[in-house]
Amino acid sequence: MEVKVNKKSKSCTEDELLSLSKEELIDRIKQLEAHNTQLKSIVQKNLQSRDETTNGKAKKKHRPFDFAKCFKRHILLRFYYLGWDYQGFAAQEDSIETIEHHMFAALKKVCLIESRETSNYNRCGRTDKGVSAFHQVISLDVRSKFAPELQLDANNLTNELDYCAMLNRVLPEEIRCLAWMPMVNPAYSARFDCRSRTYRYFFPRGDLNITAMEESARYLVGAHDFRNLCKMDVGNGVVSFVRSIDAISIKPSQRDSERDGSSYDMMYLELQGKAFLWHQVRCIMAVLLLVGQGREKPSVVKDLLDVEQNPCKPQYSMASDVPLNLYDCQFNEKSGESNEEESMGGESDLSDWIYKEEDLRRTISDLQGFWMKHSVKTTMVREMLKTLHGILEDRFAGAPPIRDQSVLLTQGVRSKEYCPLLQRQRCESLENRIEHYAKKRRIEVSVKSNDCSASGSDEPAAEHVRTGTDRNSNVDHGVSGMDN
C-alpha cells in the first residue's frame, strides 16, 4: 500500500509570477479574493459563535422584545473597566474583545436598547488597547418603566429599572457599571459636553529623579503644539496638534511598606485637559522617564514643544499602555455651552449620579477580589526580590543596588549607548504627511482664501482638511478623549 502526501504548494516567486500570462494572473487574483472572502466569513462566524456561547452552553432563543411598547429615557452611564486584556474601548470589525462590544452586548441582552444605531449613543473617551478607565461615561437612550413626563419624579427615580445591576449580571468581571444619571436634554452628549478629562499614569519610583520630572512637566501646562509628543493621525484628518493641558502633577500613590522613598514606591502622573491626542500621555510619559533617569535635561520638553526649531518628531519608544487610566471626567452644566456661558446661570442639564448601596457593595467586593489576586502575586514577587537583594549584598559586597523598576516601562529595545532625543533620526514632517495622504486621496486638502490681504497681513493661506466630526457623528479622528 502506497501513501501519497499532498504537500501544500508554496507561494510563487516573483520570477514565476512574471512568467504568467495576463489571463493566468487574473485567475490567480480571483482565486485569492475568493479565498480571502471565505476566510473572512469563517472568522466572522467563529467570532459570532464565541459571542453567542456562554459557559459552554448555547443561548436559548427568546421571543423578540417589543420596544415599540416601551418608554425611553436619556441617561449618562458611568462605569469602570480594567482594560489590560482587551483590544481597546471602541468596537472593531475583527475582534469582540473590546469594551464597547461587551457593553452593547450586555445592553441588548437585558433589553435596555434595541440597537446601537437607535440608541442616541456617544462615548466620553476612546481608550486604546491595554488602557483602563475608572470614570468612563457614555450617553444613550435606554428603556424606562415610566412615561417621559414622569421620569424625573423622585419616587420614580428610586423605582426605576436598576440599570447597573442588570448590566453587571451579564458583563465580564473586568467591566462594572457604577451609577447612572437621568438627563432632561436628549441632545446632551457624553463626548461633546465633556469639559475636562483627567488621566493618571501609574509608575514605580525606581531610581527616578522625581524633582527633575516635575520641573520638566511644568513646561507642558498651557496650550502647545504637541506634534512631537503624540502619534500623528493625519490619515484620519487630524492636522492640528494644538491642545491645552490645564494641570499636571506627579504624586505618590502607595508607599513601600518598609520605608518612604523606596524604589518600590508607586507614583502617578496626573494630567487634566479638555482633549488629548492619540498616544499623547504615553509619549509625554516616555520623555519624562528619560528625564527622571538623567538621560535628558528637563528642558528637553520645552525643546520638543518648539515646533519651529523642531518641526519633525525624533524617534523614540512610547511608555507602556498598562499603567494608563482615564481617571475622571467633568461635564458642562448645559449641553453645547462653554464654561463661560455656564457661569451665566440657568437651570442645569445635570443632576446627581444615582448609586444603589447593594450594587456598590457588590462592585467593591468584586474589585477586592481583583486586588486580592494581584496583590498576592505582587507580595510573592516582592518577597523573592528581598531574598535576591540579600544574596547580592552578602555575596557581592559593594555592588551597586538594582533599581530598574521604572526603566522597564519604556517599550522597545534599549541600546547600549544612549543617543539624546534631539540628535536622533526624525520622523516625517506634518506637511509631508498631509501631502502623502492627499495624494492617496485619504484626505482632501483645500486652500482657504486669504481674507487678511486687505489688512496688510503676511500670514499664509491656511490649509483645511475635509474630515473630522460634528455633534451627529460617532466617528473619532484623533479627537477628545482618545488615548493616549
Give residue-wise pLDDT tens across range 408-439: 888 777 778 889 999 999 998 888 888 888 88
Better-predicted residue by pLDDT, 345 or 473: 345
435 class by beta-carbon count within 10 Å (0-12 exposed, 13-18 middle, 19+ buried): middle
CA distance 88 to 129: 4
Predicted local distance difference test score (pLDDT) of residue 51: 58
- Please report which confidence band the pLDDT of residue 146 belongs to, taking 50, 70 and 90 as the band edges: very high
- Please report which confidence band the pLDDT of residue 42 belongs to, taking 50, 70 and 90 as the band edges: low
Residues forming the active site? 128
Predicted local distance difference test score (pLDDT) of residue 4: 39
Residues 157 and 182 sit within 8 Å (Cβ to Cβ): yes
- Please report which confidence band the pLDDT of residue 147 belongs to, taking 50, 70 and 90 as the band edges: very high
Q: Do domains 70-194+348-376 and 202-330+413-445 have the same CATH topology?
A: yes
Give residue-wise pLDDT tens across range 349-405: 888 999 999 999 999 999 999 999 999 999 999 999 999 999 999 999 888 988 888
Domains of the chain, by residue range, sit at 70-194+348-376, 202-330+413-445
Cβ contacts of 235 within 8 Å, gap of 6 or more = 437, 442, 443
Better-predicted residue by pLDDT, 186 or 478: 186
CATH number of 70-194+348-376: 3.30.70.580
Average pLDDT, the chain: 84
CA distance 279 to 319: 9
215 class by beta-carbon count within 10 Å (0-12 exposed, 13-18 middle, 19+ buried): middle
Alpha-carbon dihedral 235, 238, 241, 244, rounded to 10 degrees: -140
Q: Which DSSP category does 320 fall into?
A: P
- Please report which confidence band the pLDDT of residue 56 belongs to, taking 50, 70 and 90 as the band edges: low
In the structure grid, which three cell numbers stand for residue 67, read together? 420596544
Please determine, for residue 261, whether its predicted confidence score (pLDDT) is greater than 50.
yes
Please determine, for residue 12, whether its predicted confidence score (pLDDT) is greater than 80.
no
Predicted local distance difference test score (pLDDT) of residue 331: 93
Please determine, for residue 198, whether its predicted confidence score (pLDDT) is greater than 80.
yes
CATH number of 202-330+413-445: 3.30.70.660
Cβ contacts of 19 within 8 Å, gap of 6 or more = none
Predicted local distance difference test score (pLDDT) of residue 125: 87
| Least reliable range by pLDDT among 37-51, 126-140, 287-301, 414-428 | 37-51
% of the chain at pLDDT higher than 90: 57
Please determine, for residue 83, whether its predicted confidence score (pLDDT) is greater than 90.
yes
Give residue-wise pLDDT tens across range 274-324: 999 999 999 999 999 999 999 999 999 999 999 999 999 999 999 999 999
